[in-house]
Amino acid sequence: MATYCDTTLMSSDDVGWAYALPKSETIKKSPMKTYPSIAAALLATSIAGCATSGVHVSNGGSELTCTKQITVLGGQPNHGDVFGSLNPDCTAIPGVAARITVQPSHGKVTVRPTQDFLYFKEPNPRARCNSKRVPAWIVQYRSDAGYVGKDKFSYDKFLPDGVVVHVTLNVDVR
């Protein structure tokens, strides 16, 4: 079990995936060694200051569906997700992507590739990449100016081995 702060990223030790975790979020390392992408994707359900209300695995494990709740400040850019996939030599693993499937009613979501710092826990060989900006994807939500209330959006994450993670975020804008 490990605790990570809001700017820390982590991954399963046996894969090259990393995800943003909320401040003081504690998670247990996944035992799903035979399905590393699913294990990594399940870790992703704890991202970005949200509580997961459901994870559904389908199509023999090639698709995951999860619903999460986040609270954000109105009118500010809020990171809903930051993730990437690396080889042990810090080069990007091809096949990582994301796309918006449903825009929010009271704001805007952007999904784009970026360069960011990802964190990998020792003894993962990717831990040597922690001090380098590496290819990553960012999902960012911004509410309409002056809006306070509930919002919702969805996006898909594509993992290098073909797994698709369908994510719905229920947003509480304050």
Rounded distance, CA 166 to CA 159, Å? Answer: 11
| Contact present, 140 and 116 (Cβ < 8 Å) | no
Residue 17 is predicted with a pLDDT of: 54
| Contact present, 65 and 156 (Cβ < 8 Å) | no
Confidence of residue 55 (pLDDT cuts 50, 70, 90): low
Tell me which residue of 151, 127, 131 sits closest to 141, measured CA to CA. Answer: 151
Rounded distance, CA 25 to CA 98, Å? Answer: 24
User: Is pLDDT above 90 for 5?
Assistant: no
Q: Which of 2-6, 51-55, 60-64 has the highest mean pLDDT?
A: 60-64
11 burial level (CB within 10 Å; 0-12, 13-18, 19+): buried
SS3 content of the chain, % helix, strand, coil (to 5): 10, 50, 40
The pLDDT tens digits for 100-148 are: 999 999 999 999 999 998 888 999 999 999 999 999 999 999 999 999 9
Rounded distance, CA 138 to CA 155, Å? Answer: 11
| Mean per-residue pLDDT of the chain | 74
Q: Which residues of 24-41 are buried (b: 16+ CB within 10 A; e: fewer)?
A: ebebeebebeebbbbbbb
Structure tokens at 152: 């919702």
Give backbone dihedrals phi and psi of 52, rounded to 5 degrees, phi first.
Answer: -85, 130
Rounded distance, CA 19 to CA 167, Å? Answer: 14
Q: What angle do CA 96, 19, 17 make, to 5 degrees?
A: 50
Over range 45-67, report the average pLDDT: 62
Over range 45-58, report the average pLDDT: 50
Residue 134 is predicted with a pLDDT of: 93
User: Is pLDDT above 60 for 10?
Assistant: no
How are beta strands 63-72 and 9-10 bridged, if at all?
unpaired
